[in-house]
Chains A and B, each alone.
Chain A
Amino acid sequence: MANKKIKQIAIYGKGGIGKSTTTSNISAALVKQGFKVMQFGCDPKSDSTNTLRGGKYIPTVLDTLREKTTVKASEVIHEGFGGVYCVEAGGPAPGVGCAGRGIITAVQLFKQQRVFEELDLDFVIYDVLGDVVCGGFAVPIREGIAEHVFTVSSADFMAVYAANNLFRGIHKYSNAGGALLGGVIANSINAPYAKEIIDDFVKQTKTQVVEYVPRSVTVTQSELQGKTTIEAAPNSEQAKIYTRLALKIAEHTESKVPEPLDVHELREWASKWADHLLALETGEVTSKASCI
């Protein structure tokens, strides 16, 4: 299997938007399909893989590095649901040190030790903290690590703003062999206008929506049990959506360079939607809203 191509995917999104939930469900769905998957949490909070491991925290790469000067990657890989290999990069305590550098250190450690090849993986999925605030959080999309990036976003402006920032990062590294954008995973899409907002945003930035994931109480119930929806409610409607999403990602081959909006364009775009939503709320019926 020496020539097997490992598909490396990075999933970004604003904090609290549902990245880890989505990523863990994708990982769980993929192992159920018979793939070998590693989920690599790139967030100092180190809770990306919790629902794959019954809600339990695992020692992180950086925790282990703090204690010892050298770390064998095998020491920080923990198996979760269905045999998903779980890794948490970890990071410093809040308010000190440099979390970005921590992510770089952890990712490079794995790359150097050629762990992915040894484990004969089909997928490595990086679950990365939100706003790409510094170079460290961009490491999965540069240096030829991940090939495809997906961003989780709701229709909230701040989530869209974070997604647009990520697009800027991808755009920047696209000429230097960095990852390209697979598309947007539209999360918590329940209100009809939310779908419209996300659709309009992907149109503006020349990308696509991979899947619309509605907000669901099943997800909450599963998480409270420390499980993914795929594990806790495999026959639910939500599990079907996650499985469909996972398969789409598995089959996805062609990513593109997005065209992010600049700050003024983004503001203008947002205020246009603000006017539209206000019109909806006040009951004003215009031709555009009348179809809703």
Chain B
Amino acid sequence: MGKFVDRPKYICAMGGAVATLNALPGVVPILHAAAGCGFNISNAINGGGGYVGSGYCGGQSLPSSNVFEKEIVFGGEGRLEQQILSTMEIAEADIYFVITGCMVEMIGDDAVSVVKRLNKGKRLFAADTGGFRGNSYKGYDIVLSKLFSEYVQTGLEKDERLVNLWGIVPVQDVYWKGNLRVLKKLVEGLGYKVNTFFGEDETLEDLKESSKAILNIVVSDTYGIDAAKTFKEVHDTDYITTDFPIGDHGTARFIKEVGTALGASNEVINALIKKERKRYYGYLERVVDAYSDFDLQRYAVIVGDANYTQGLTRFLSDDLGWLPELVIINDLLEEEQKEFLRRKFSDYESGIKPELVFDTDASSVLKHINRHWEVNKNPRYYDSMTPAFLIGSSFEKETAQKIKAQHLSVMYPVSNRVVLDRAYAGFEGALTLTEDIFSVLLESR
């Protein structure tokens, strides 16, 4: 029997698909699932996603076939067809996208062929997203792959100044929209137009013509890779994967990697880094006095997903001069992915080598902290891991209290903050992150 996951920090594949589709402009998802699926998914998206809200046609307004026993016994394709047609009549959208839950897949309902039969062209799509296929990240990959292979036009002439950027998963990265805005601006700084699909001012037309891009930048080594492979297969566009950048050390690398892949000159790359650094340190230096006067250096424990943990740890270690002690990644990962990720946590300029733990149980954080740092058993002298700061999700709030550390929710689920256009990526995001972290430290003043 497989190991169960205690306190997962994601939803099922269909949940990831709903979040992804809700984040696209002009798209209405149609769920082919039991009534509970849409309800639970909506709650998990809204409650864990910094109160992202229902959007145009999400939340409790999600169209769903709401199958019951009758559909399970006799098959639910007829019910789905009915739901598609009524949704298309009532809800205005450019694209309707059918996604399937566990039970309809188990009984063999074929949503893809229902959609094919209805013959609505590039307005109606379907993908199998049964929850058992994986978690939110899988749903993101499934939806993107489907759109890349069926919606994005083939045979368009390449635009030498156009790139696509993804790998920042809507809702699983609670700050996705802000982060995409920041990263888009950075790549634009290299002289390119950028499609991010889910960011500000993005259109479906841009997505449809995204095959014109000369490069796909996947800002993750873990998420969106399957979609990049599909894109390469269908549209013959190469892709690179980069680390999710936070702060100077992460973002300068990001600019160099992307710039080099695009063949930008060193002058252009360095000029952009210089310009960004000037602004960044111009603001960051303001906090130096308080940092020194109040002694705001902290031991840090970082708990969360594969994208953020590496970006945060590099930022804390090399930008902020903190002492990251322990990093816990809660994602479901393959052995090769873990091996690859280990290398990301070992080359800090500070020379710090935090302990890296892979544990899918978010409930085990305290256990790892107590193992990592000897618990106080009242000896005469005790070297405690204080003052400490825990960066994680809302799940870690209590754990932080138990170890008397301060806490900031950065990764999903974020239930104790409202998130609008905030970003933590890049130089700009690192300033916001610094504000947020130091505001927590100084809140009692």
Contact = CB atoms under 8 A, between A and B. Distances in A.
B70 A98 contact: no
Contacts of B248: none
B289 interface: no
B74 A62 contact: yes
A209 B177 CA distance: 71
B354 interface: no
Contact of B108 (A62, A66, A96): A96
Contact of B75 (A65, A97, A105): A97
A92 interface: yes
B73 interface: yes
A96 B69 contact: no
Nearest to A134: B106
A285 to B, nearest CB: 52
A133 to B, nearest CB: 13
A101 B108 contact: no
Q: Report which residue of A93, A95, A99, A101 has the largest number of chain B beta carbons within 10 angstroms of its beta carbon.
A: A101
Given A92-B75, A96-B75, A96-B77, A101 B107 contact: yes
Interface in B284-322: none
Q: Report which residue of B72, B74, B75 has the largest number of chain A beta carbons within 10 angstroms of its beta carbon.
A: B74
A97 B69 contact: no
Nearest to B77: A96
A41 interface: no
A102 B73 contact: yes
Contacts of A99: 73
A105 B108 contact: no
A99 B107 CA distance: 9
A271 to B, nearest CB: 32
Contacts of B108: 95-97
A91 B71 CA distance: 12
Contacts, number: 40
Interface string A91-116: 11101111101100100000000000
Contact of A105 (B69, B71, B107, B109): B69
Contacts of B69: 101, 105
Contacts of B74: 62, 66, 92-93, 96-97, 102
A45 to B, nearest CB: 15
Nearest to A96: B75
- Looking at chain B's contact residues, the main secondary structure is helix
Contacts of B73: 62, 65, 91-92, 97-99, 101-102, 105
B72 A101 contact: yes
Nearest to A103: B73
A65 to B, nearest CB: 7
Interface in B92-131: 106-109
B77 A98 contact: no
A101 B75 CA distance: 11
A91 B74 CA distance: 7
Contact of A65 (B70, B71, B77, B107): B70
A62 B77 CA distance: 18
A163 B108 CA distance: 27
A96 B78 CA distance: 11
Nearest to B71: A97
A93 B76 CA distance: 12
Nearest to A99: B73
B110 to A, nearest CB: 9
A192 B74 CA distance: 45
Q: Report which residue of A66, A91, A97, A102 has the largest number of chain B beta carbons within 10 angstroms of its beta carbon.
A: A97
B73 to A, nearest CB: 4
A101 B109 CA distance: 14
Nearest to A92: B74
A102 B69 CA distance: 9
B380 to A, nearest CB: 57
Nearest to A98: B107
Contacts of A91: 73
Contacts of A98: 72-73, 106-107
Contacts of A92: 73-75
A96 B110 CA distance: 9
A96 B70 CA distance: 12
Nearest to B76: A97
Nearest to B103: A98
B376 to A, nearest CB: 48
Contact of B70 (A66, A93, A95): A66
A234 B107 CA distance: 44
Interface in A81-98: 91-93, 95-98
Contacts of A101: 69, 72-73, 107
A105 B69 CA distance: 8
A62 to B, nearest CB: 6
Interface string B136-173: 00000000000000000000000000000000000000
Contacts of A105: 69, 73
A92 B72 CA distance: 9
Contacts of B71: 97
A97 B75 CA distance: 4
A27 B107 CA distance: 33
Nearest to A90: B73
B170 to A, nearest CB: 33
A24 B21 CA distance: 55
Interface of B: 69-77, 106-109
13 contacts: A92-B73, A93-B75, A96-B74, A96-B77, A96-B107, A96-B108, A97-B107, A98-B72, A98-B106, A101-B73, A102-B73, A102-B74, A105-B69
Given A62-B74, A66-B74, A97-B108, 4 more contacts: A65-B70, A92-B74, A97-B107, A98-B73
Interface of A: 62, 65-66, 91-93, 95-99, 101-102, 105
Q: Which 3 A-B pairs have the closest CB atoms?
A: A96-B75, A97-B75, A98-B107
